[in-house]
């Protein structure tokens, strides 16, 4: 009886020692990057982020520039798309004249870390080409 009790104690002690090791051991399958919830902030070196991007050949099948109207006035307020973007992005609001001519105002360009005080100094364009959206 005493031998059985000693054996149970020894087995319990071994299990106690081995449990923390096996409970936290790496799984036997291949490593997979940690998954994150949508909208969760993930921090990693920019080189790793760039290396993770998929690069694909450009495919313009089905694209026609005629499908996209240029500088339209969708809300019919007299200001075309370019003026609407300039109004929305202004640091200091410009005055709106006849035919939506913009005067005054100021804009900040994060691309070259500069401020501009005339809408004519700015290009308003797509961050991605329209062809890439087709």
What are the mean pLDDT values of the chain's consecutive 10-residue runs (134 residues total)?
57 55 46 69 88 86 79 90 94 96 94 92 79 68
Q: Are 132 and 57 in contact (CB under 8 A)?
A: no
Residues facing residue 95 across a β-bridge = 103
CA distance 64 to 83: 24
What's the pTM? 0.50
What is the per-residue pLDDT for 25? 47
Full DSSP string of 51-73: HTS-------TT--GGGS-SS--
Give residue 24's pLDDT.
47
**Can you tell me the distance from the alpha carbon of 9 to that of 13, in angstroms, rounded to the nearest whole number?**
6
At residue 70's C-alpha, the angle toward residues 64 and 74, to 5°, is 115
Instruction: Name the token pair of 67.
Output: 């499908």
Q: Indicate the domain borders of the chain.
A: 69-134
């Amino acid at each position: 009886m005493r031998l059985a009790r000693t054996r149970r104690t020894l087995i319990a002690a071994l299990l106690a020692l081995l449990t923390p090791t096996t409970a936290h051991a790496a799984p036997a399958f291949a490593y997979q990057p940690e998954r994150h919830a949508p909208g969760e902030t993930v921090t990693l070196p920019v080189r790793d982020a760039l290396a993770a991007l998929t690069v694909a050949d450009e495919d313009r099948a089905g694209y026609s520039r005629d499908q996209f109207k240029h500088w339209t006035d969708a809300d019919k307020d007299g200001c075309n798309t370019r003026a609407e973007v300039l109004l929305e992005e202004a640091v200091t609001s410009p005055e709106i004249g006849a035919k939506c001519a913009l005067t005054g105002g100021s804009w900040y360009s994060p691309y070259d870390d500069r401020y501009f005080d005339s809408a004519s100094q700015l290009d308003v364009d797509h961050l991605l080409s329209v062809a890439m959206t087709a």
